[in-house]
Amino acid sequence: MSMHRSFMVFAPIALLLAACAGPSDAPAEGRTAEASQAITMVQKIEVGYSHAFTIADGGDLYAWGYNGNYELGLGDTTNRLAPEQSSLLDVADVDAYGLHACAATEGGSVYCWGHNNFNKVGSGSWYSPKQTPTAVAGIADAVAVATGWEHSCALLSSGEVVCWGQNYYGQLGHGSIGSYSASPVTVLNLGDAIAIDAGAYSTCALRATGKVVCWGDDWLGQLGNGSPSANQDDPVEVVGIDDAVKMVRGQNHGCALLSSGDVKCWGANTYGQLGLGSGAASVAYSAEFVSSLSDIVDLGAGNSHTCAIRSDNEVFCWGLNDSRQLGDGTTTNQSAPTLITNAAGAIKIDGGQVSTCALFEEGVKCWGSDSVGQLGNGAPASGASSTPVDVVFP
């Protein structure tokens, strides 16, 4: 969910791509979908509410899972049991927290689609969903995007951040709390951001200095600024983080990967999603070490769970496990990092509301709920799986 995109090479997966006709509001950024090619590289895996995306091969975007609000951007509301290629090409970043999604293209444009309360897709009227990727006016130099439940943000090449949509909690970060903004507004006092991510009603940015700042809703310590506080309409610093290299957000919690390979987390800990062990408080108002982890190379946050990959490519997950999203073979919540024995070899990882997906050398695998096709394996929805299953590309 950040602008840091690692290019992961894995064994070619045979793939026949049907040419997709792009809608008039989603130009192909200078090229058209090719009739056939082989996926040899995945740049990013992004898991949303009950759906997922991958960016592959030069910016081709694939989507699968729940689609009741057009959140896959494929022009209809039919769920997809396996990945289908989007009409949007040359994608550099994609993010999907709730019932909408946004993407930044290599050319710097931002497109959004899906549910449109508070004009969070940045185009059209309130409550009028966008069926396909639709350009957000006024953005020409975006390098990354982040989506919350009712708002969206883009990181610009200048290091500034702009946001739009609902602002009841100050999640747009422009110095006031109000109803909403239909067009992008600039986040105050932030000109050196290198990555962004959003929770339900708050937003965070990783600064070039290694510090993390957040703004918006703080009722469960989501901002990490040291103590219970009112909602914040401009960025405040997360206490205890000085050298982060990656930052991820769940619904009401956040975690940062430090340059040392250690992990710190803050915010809600209702289900153990901070990884602080049994007996820890239900809220951490500043960043606290996940003491049982070291040598971590990647992090992913789901709604109320978190996963990490160690330098030996072993996976650890913790937090809510009601849909087997931790992958440990149980439905028991875990308050401390738990080794996931069936996920060895992972390279990158991300979590959604009820599922988790990771990149492996041999491709993409997912586990957790499969109620609406979140696992992307092409088979009829199976309920749930604790074991990683292959995402089957067409």
pLDDT in tens, 349-394: 999 999 999 999 889 999 999 999 999 999 987 889 999 999 998 8
Q: Are 80 and 101 in contact (CB under 8 A)?
A: no
This prediction has a pTM of 0.90
pLDDT at residue 37 above 60? no
CA torsion through residues 67, 63, 311, 257, sign: negative
Which amino acid, one-letter code, is at 371?
Answer: S
Q: Is-contact 303 250, C-beta < 8 A?
A: yes
pLDDT classification of 40: cutoffs 50, 70, 90: low
Give the pLDDT confidence of 276-311 residue by residue, as tens digits.
999 999 999 999 999 999 999 999 999 999 999 999
Which two structure tokens, joined as six digits, stand for 377? 């394996």
> Residue 247: its pLDDT value, please?
98
Which tens digits make up the pLDDT trace of 46-90? 999 999 999 998 899 999 999 999 999 999 999 999 999 999 999
DSSP 8-state class, residue 377:
S
Count each helix (H run) and each strand (E run) in the chain, helices first: 0, 29
- pLDDT-derived band of residue 42, with 50, 70 and 90 as boundaries? confident
- Burial of residue 11, with CB atoms counted within 10 A of its CB: 0-12 exposed, 13-18 middle, 19 or more buried: exposed
pLDDT digits (tens, 9 = 90+) for 206-248: 999 999 999 999 999 999 999 988 999 999 999 999 999 999 9
Number of other CB atoms surrounding residue 239 within 10 Å: 16
Topology of domain 8-21+34-390 in CATH is Methylamine Dehydrogenase; Chain H (2.130.10)
- Name the band, by pLDDT with cuts 50, 70 and 90, for residue 3: very low
